Amino acid sequence: MMSVLEIPRIYFKGNVSWDPVTTNNYPVNYDETDCTTVLPQNLPTIQDDVQAFRDRAVAQIGASGNWNPHGTYRSSFYETAVCGFDRGHGTQTDDPFATSAVNFTGMLVDLEPFGSVSSQLFFDSMLFGVEGGYSIQLPRTSRIIARQINFGRNTSRHTAIAGIASVIWTTCFAKANGLRINALDSGILADLKNALEADDVLGLSVRFNAYRTVYYDNAALTNGSPAMAQEAQQLADKIAGGGFQPNPARSLIVGVVGLWRKNEPVHEPGDRALIQVGATPAVGTASARCNVDSLVIDLSNSVPEVDVALTKQDLGRLSVVAIDQSGAVQEELGSIPYTSYDRTAYEASAGLVTLPLAPGMAEKIAGLNLQVNTVQGPILREQAFRAIPLTPNFYADQETATSASFQVYEHGVPVGNGVAFQLNQMSSDGQTVEISIPMTTDATGIAKVSLSAALPGITAYVPSFPSQTVSSLSTQLDTYMYVRVLPDDPQIGALPPTWPNVYKYVLSNWNAMAPCMDNWLRLDDPEQIRAYATVLKRLTDPAAFEHFRFMPITRDMSAGMRSLLYAWLDSPKDHEAELPSRVRLLKNVLRTQPATAVQRREEATLPLETMTQTELSRSLRGGPKGN
């Protein structure tokens, strides 16, 4: 259904950097229910606790794989540009818009920080081309969401941490929100601009796949290797030597820009879902769209790379068929040679493969299931029904009544009234089903569920249909929603609005967790905080939640914390109590332990072949790594 699989569409490729603070990926450092940093609590002052926490985070670089304690949360495209387009005649590059730069910077935030399946990018705008020249200017409508993470993407064994995985990132931009296309004499931009005038086109959709992630700027690293330990030690030594030392990872990306039509999801593919088949799947889940005269299959997240040169696995010629409910082939739709999904083809067209359809074929297969086969058998098979959350990463405040909605699709088309399914409420790691909630769609194909916000915490919701059995969340098989209920903390909001209280119960959390803030605002300095009172209120206002500069970046300030902070900002200055602590960032030596103690034990690793998805998800954050 998602219209990046119809024409016109634009392809781009390049690189993206990831610079999150990784310290909150560990339960020993962070309480994701209470939204608080786990400080030592055994030192003379809160300032000592904060300093000890920072020192401990550095010690965890080698001991626990905490690869970026000085992160900034920023993610930016670099060396990224338009690489082609399709106006209905296959991939082309002969347009003045081809090779135009793609600019994007966002804040990378995990709703559930102990795992890797709830990532999102908060941003303000995206730009293709140059303002005043050929360009697509895209003010944000909604954040970018990561879904369908594929933990089996890179099989080369030359990977570290998230290097094994790939993931689809998606968002849409409403034409009513200031979207602008400056086409000049570009044919592809003129096509897009003209297509936006249709009543059922809401705007543009951008979808990109991130893969081949590299850490410490060293593509040769593997989990648990001596080289990884050496890189970790060098980072710890640099921090101990003084200065600000962010350590971003980086990935390759391929992407596509296309139309966003009515009834299409904003944050993930809503096309016909082709689910991986078999106990040891050869490929990752894909999606497909039947246009009038073509079938377009999105393999951007599917075919593995097998070596450091990123050679695509040769699965042979793939046949595409349409089958009935019994599995019998009803229509043979064509075949895909290796040259259509190898590395060259993948980078040229973002993994999209097009098969021509005979006249009337799209209508004939509308109610059948698509299937992709190798000579050994099926590798992808359509899952007819999908329930997609309208808000896949959902935040709520404790004791605030709220609800969430799911749009149900059949073969990529919204259903009508009366379609039943189960909504499985799960633990935050997606490992355990807690309750199953019966759901039924209304006339528009939407089903709503009331969300309990009685207690703070994080919950996963995974839909399943009668033909499906769900025991744990699978990012390759399931759609899902994550809900985070932030605590109200009335006891904090009721505290006297003094600087000691504000620092201890509010600001020390991020002063400890995010040393990067020292570059912009000293969270331990009451004079600086008061000087920026107006700005702080604007940046922490819940109304600014979607903005790039919202604070805290991690979106985990409780209502009680905000109330206490605002009350103090509005109070008269207390000259005796408001003394800066000056927790040290740019220091010459670690206060509590020498640099030589940073790598105090070998980082734990698990056999990659036997790891569950939950273990894989945690391994990309603070859990034991696979090897």
> Cβ contacts of residue 595 below 8 Å, gap of 6+?
236, 237, 240, 241, 589
452: its two tokens: 């309990």
Q: Is the per-residue pLDDT at 600 higher than 50?
A: no
Question: Nearest CA to 146 among 21, 273, 268?
Answer: 268
Burial profile 160-182: b = 16 or more Cβ within 10 angstroms, e = fewer:
bbbbbbbbbbbbbbbbeeebebb
Mean pLDDT of 300-309: 95
Is the domain 386-486 a CATH 2.40.50.100 member?
no
Q: What is the CB neighbour count within 10 angstroms for residue 86?
A: 22
Higher local confidence (pLDDT), 416 or 280:
416
**pLDDT at residue 625 in the model:** 60
Per-residue pLDDT for 586 more than 70? Answer: no
pLDDT at residue 261 above 70? yes
Q: What is the DSSP string of 303-317?
A: SPB-STT-PBP---P
What pLDDT score does 281 carry?
A: 80
Half-sphere exposure of 140 (CA within 13 A, CB side): 18
- Residue range 202-207: average pLDDT? 98
Confidence of residue 161 (pLDDT cuts 50, 70, 90): confident
**pLDDT over 70 at 284, yes or no:** yes
Helix, strand, or coil here: 457?
A: strand
Q: Answer whether 0.85 is exceeded by the pTM.
A: yes
User: Of 428, 492, 597, 525, which is closest to residue 27 (Cα–Cα)?
Assistant: 428
- CATH architecture of the domain 271-383 equals Sandwich (2.60)
The string of pLDDT tens digits covering residues 96-144 is 999 999 999 999 999 999 999 999 999 999 999 999 999 999 999 999 9
pLDDT of residue 339: 98
Per-residue pLDDT for 178 more than 70?
yes
Categorise residue 488: left if φ over 0, alpha if ψ from -120 to 50, beta otherwise: alpha
* pLDDT above 90 for 598: no
The mean pLDDT value for 588-595 works out to 38
Q: What is the mean pLDDT of residues 182-193?
A: 98
Predicted pLDDT at 623: 64
Residue 590 has pLDDT above 60, yes or no: no
Name the residue with higher pLDDT: 1 or 484. Answer: 484
Chain segment 490-534, per-residue pLDDT in tens: 999 999 999 999 999 999 999 999 999 999 999 999 999 999 999
Residue 146 pLDDT level (bands cut at 50, 70, 90): very high
Q: Find the helix packing angle between 533-540 and 559-569, rounded to 10°.
A: 160
Query: Which is higher by pLDDT, 90 or 598?
Result: 90
* Average pLDDT of every residue of the chain: 92
* Span 316-374, pLDDT tens digits: 999 999 999 999 999 999 999 999 999 999 999 999 999 999 999 999 999 999 999 99
